[in-house]
Amino acid sequence: MRLTKKQEAASGRLLIDGAENRIFWSDNGRVAKFIMGRLSAPSGDDPETIARAFIADNRELFDLAAEVAERLEVSSIERDSQGHAHVCLAQFIRDVPVHEGSVQVHINREGVVTAYKDNRLAEAEVDFQPRFSEVNAVHAAMADIGEEQGEKQQSRLCLYRHTDKKVHLAWQVEIVVQHEHGARYYFIDAHDGAILYRFSESRAIMARKTYTAKNQQTLPGTLVIQDEQTSTDAVVQAAHDNAREVYDYYRRTFDRDSYDNQGSPLVATVHFGQSYNNAYWNSYRKQMVYGDGDGRQWLPLAYALDIVGHEFTHAVTSCTARFVYAEQSGALDEAFADFFGVMIANDGEIVDWQMGEGVYTPYRSGDALRDLSDPARFDLPDHMDSFMHLRPDELPDAEKNDLGWLHYNCGIPCKAAYLTVAGGTHHGITVEGIGRDKAEQIYFLGLTEYMRSSTLSRWTFEQARFAALNACRQLYGDQGSEYAAIKNAWAAVGVGEPAARFAVITREVNPALTIPDNRPQGISSAIQIEEQGILRELTVVVMINHSYIHDLRVRLVSPGGEEAVLHDRSGGEEDDIIEEYRLDNCPELVKFVGDTVQGEWQLLVADHARLDQGILAGWGLTMAVEKLAQQSLARELRPELPIPDNSPQGVVSAIPVAEAGTILHVDVTVDISHAWVGDLQLILTDPAGREMVLHDRSGASRRDLKKTYSSRTDEVLRPLIGAEQQGEWRLQLIDLAGEDTGILHGWKMEILYS
């Protein structure tokens, strides 16, 4: 990343103004993507004026290309329950809106800018004259939909950032498909007509209006009741009552007046379609839709308060974060809806983390649609290790890949939300839960303000994590248990780094070592871990090219000498080992959990039969490590002991250590005068009786031995890592030849321990 001189000067001024101010840059250094701290002086001006003044005062941070004619238009200004203002602006270049070109300015009650998020384009090297017409773009979208009846709602030019990071002039086309009752969005290249991206907004709400579709697929249908009226139709009444419950929750908990915070009526239609197994929020018509279910897979969905809360939350997200309903963004939309659906359905402490269990598969006991506490229970991932990606050339598709596997991948942020509330240890990282009250406020503020967008946006898991951290910083600060819980919860599912107590260590090597044929001694490759800590989770990736893997035995050896067999002459006639070994699929690895990680890890590969050969192409380790609270001690003696000449008994000096603790690192320093150090042998004995020869008659006629031996550099001391330090340490100095004498002036031990 290279900054211009103007950017360096501007960032320097901002950082000097506040010791806690921090700037996070885009990969190419053109944009200050996020800034946090106390970024401006207090002001009594209105939020828009403060926001525009901050952007103008710091314009040199944003390396806008000279030819870019930019305009920023306010899309929303919100005040939260703490009195903080959140200003969202949309970028236009040459009057063309930039898709996902949002700027957020967050202002506290004193009128001080505390956070700034920038997703603008710094340059737009694109021909602004469309060569593919709007009419043709609509036809291309209609053709992609196929035989289903579609109706264009609107279309407009925009600047669209594609997955290759190239900027395209594109037609954004919105089409409503008759039997979906929700908009499909297309981004069509305005130069060559290529479909750049597509997704659907149909998702699988205190004035209340509840309609019936009379089992037809018409919206909104016939009005049955409104406000405080009642109905003898149990499904109508359930939808109406649950809408009130959900409205009251958002009003009571967050002081939010309806889904848009503008008091809009909650409109719902029940009895939609024949045996319709779905419920969804229709952003275009701004209403909820409930099917009756088929009686086998689903009962009427309006009966379930958590599902009503889930769909109402989709309405909230459609007015705030504006998730693109595909890939990670769509998975986040589902996860936020699940989280608040669970919060709404539980009073006080959360006792039920399931979604839809009251109406899903009524004849199967204990079943549910999802379980936030245990996504794997219903075959969903709970860590990024199991995240399902689209192929590089694949577009989201509702039929072929669930719009980028959004309902599958939502298990990952769902698990992070559960851990934030309830805590627990997951993938080796321990989370101290903060309870529902604080978690609700953090997630709501993060969603509605720190993820607010002026356009539909492809939010990522990493950005959702960052939004939660910023919301936490506003509400509870960034030094407490709440901030650590957010970091650790997301790190536990493989997103971001954990708080200071934990670390994720990743190392890999590519030795390209030939594996000798039919040689049990085999080969070894080493990875050195310098960090200290206790292993809580381990993944080993092995890449071996071999023509007959049944010949192979693969073992992992820890710094302490423990051994785990990863592959033991299995696999028959298969070629190659390209495998990821984890605690869940390789129980042998469990023996390393709880050990210290520092030191040399070895992978041993041996071929045990003739004819076939191969290569160890590469291997790697990913470790979740619990950092240890470290303390240090130093003990020194100056005994001035004469060293008997040519005496096997020698002299002994002892240092007692009263403190109990596990050794992380040890240094032993000696100060010895002697005329011929080649006569000397120096032995350290630890409290367990283990002898370590530090010096063994090397050095010939060199005089004196003044040296520090370290567990970091001297292999002989490595076994002490992880050992108990309490007890008596003995240093024995022996002269094993005649004529020369000397003195042990002193020695010192320095131990880092937990």
* CATH at residue 455: 1.10.390.10
Residue 204 has pLDDT above 60, yes or no: no
> What is the SS3 assignment for 593-649?
CCCECCEEEEEEEEECCCCCCEEEEEEEEEEEEECCCCEEEEEEECCCEEECCCEEE
The answer for residues whose C-beta is within 8 angstroms of residue 703's C-beta and 6 or more apart is: 673, 674, 675, 676, 677
**pLDDT of amino acid 28:** 64
Residue entry with tokens 């990670």: 328
Higher pLDDT, 628 or 452: 452
Task: For residues 366 and 359, give the distance between their C-alpha atoms in angstroms, rounded to a whole number.
Answer: 11
pLDDT tens digits along 18-32: 667 888 887 666 678
CA-based nearest residue to 304, from 245, 262, 365: 245
- The dihedral region occupied by 36, where left means phi > 0, alpha psi between -120 and 50, and beta the remainder, is beta
Q: Is 157's pLDDT higher than 80?
A: yes
Average pLDDT, the chain: 89
398: pLDDT strictly greater than 60 = yes
Query: What Å distances lie between residue 436 and 349, 353, 420, 538, CA to CA?
Result: 7, 12, 8, 31
Q: In terms of domains, do 697 and 720 share one? A: yes
Mapping DSSP onto H, E and C, the string for 531-588 reads CCCEEEEEEEEEEEEECCHHHEEEEEECCCCCEEEEEECCCCCCCCEEEEEECCCCHH
158 close to 124: Cβ distance less than 8 angstroms: no
| The domain boundary residue, chosen from 500, 523, 552 | 500
Q: Determine the distance from the C-alpha atom of residue 514 to the mean position of all C-alpha atoms in its chain, rounded to a whole number.
A: 37
Q: Which residues of 136-145 are buried (b: 16+ CB within 10 A; e: fewer)?
A: ebbebbbebe
As beta bridge partners, residue 751 has 633, 666
Q: Is 311 a catalytic residue?
A: yes
CB 315 within 8 A of CB 259: yes
Do 646 and 722 sit in the same domain of this protein?
A: yes
Distance set, CA 247 to CA 148, 210, 253, 348, 672 (Å): 35, 14, 10, 17, 80
Pairing of the two strands 195-200 and 182-189: antiparallel
pLDDT at 406: 95
Domains identified in the chain, total number: 6
Report the C-alpha gap between 577 and 603 in whole angstroms: 14
Residues 228 and 188 in one domain: no
Residue 129 lies in a domain: no
Q: Is the pLDDT of residue 88 over 90?
A: yes
Decide: helix, strand or coil at residue 93: strand
Instruction: Looking at the structure, tell me whether residues 366 and 490 fall in a common domain.
Output: yes
Residues 89 and 155 in one domain: no
- Are residue 257 and residue 363 in the same domain, yes or no? no
What is the predicted pLDDT for the residue at 179?
Answer: 63
* Whole-structure pTM value: 0.68
| Helical ranges in 210-301 per DSSP H | 234-254
* Distance between CA atoms of residues 201 and 287, nearest Å: 13
**345 and 485 co-located in one domain:** yes
Using N-to-C axis directions, what is the helix angle for 305-319 and 327-345, rounded to 10°? 130
Omega cis (within 30) before 220: yes
The CATH number given to whatever domain includes residue 178 is 3.10.450.40
Among 200, 223, 241, the domain-final residue is 200
- What is the per-residue pLDDT for 672? 93
Give yes or no: residues 363 and 215 share one domain: no
**Which of the residues 407, 550, 608, 745 is marked catalytic?**
407
Amino acid at residue number 537:
E
Q: For 517-567, write each residue's pLDDT tens digit.
A: 999 999 999 999 988 888 888 999 999 999 999 999 999 999 988 899 999
Residue 580 lies in a domain: yes
The answer to whether residue 139 sits within a structural domain is yes
Specify the pLDDT at position 54. 93
How much is the pLDDT for 191? Answer: 95
**What's the pLDDT score for residue 195?**
94
At 382-396, the pLDDT tens digits run 999 999 999 988 999
Q: Tell whether 48 is covered by a domain.
A: yes
pLDDT at 203 over 70: no
First to last CA, the chain: 39
Residue span of the structural domain in which 385 resides: 320-500
Instruction: Examine residue 399 and state whether it is found in any structural domain, yes or no.
Output: yes
201: DSSP letter: -
- Collapsing DSSP to helix, strand or coil, 718 comes out as helix
Least confident range from 63-67, 405-409, 655-659: namely 63-67
Residue 124 lies in a domain: no
Q: Give, for 48, the enclosing helix (H) or strand (E).
A: helix 47-57
Q: Which CATH number covers residue 576?
A: 2.60.120.260
Write down the catalytic residue from 100, 201, 311, 334. Answer: 311
The reply to whether 621 and 646 lie within a common domain is no
The predicted structure's pLDDT at residue 178: 67
C-alpha angle with apex 206: 201 to 208, nearest 5 degrees?
70
Instruction: Clarify whether residues 509 and 553 are in a common domain.
Output: yes
Q: Is the pLDDT of residue 466 over 50?
A: yes
Whether residue 205 is predicted with pLDDT greater than 50 in this model: the reply is: no
Whole-angstrom Cα distance, residue 537 to residue 382?
15
Q: C-alpha distances in angstroms, 261 versus 228, 255, 447, 474?
A: 21, 9, 14, 21
Contact indicator for 280, 203 with CB cutoff of 8 Å: yes
CATH of the domain at 57: 3.10.450
C-alpha span between 24 and 18 (Å, rounded): 15
**Cβ-contact 744, 733 below 8 angstroms:** yes
Domain presence at residue 123 = no
Q: Are residues 421 and 492 in the same domain?
A: yes
Q: Percent of the chain beyond pLDDT 70? A: 97
Can you tell me the distance from the alpha carbon of 317 to that of 341, in angstroms, rounded to the nearest whole number? 13
Residue at 128 is within a domain: no
DSSP 719: G
pLDDT at 147 over 80: no
**Helix H or strand E encompassing 461:** helix 461-476
Shared domain check, 177 and 212: no
Last residue of a domain, one of 481, 500, 519: 500
Residue 308 parent element (H or E): helix 305-319
Task: Say if residue 100 is exposed, middle or buried (CB neighbours under 10 Å; 0-12, 13-18, 19+).
Answer: buried
Q: How sure is the predictor about 298, in pLDDT bands with cuts at 50, 70 and 90?
A: confident
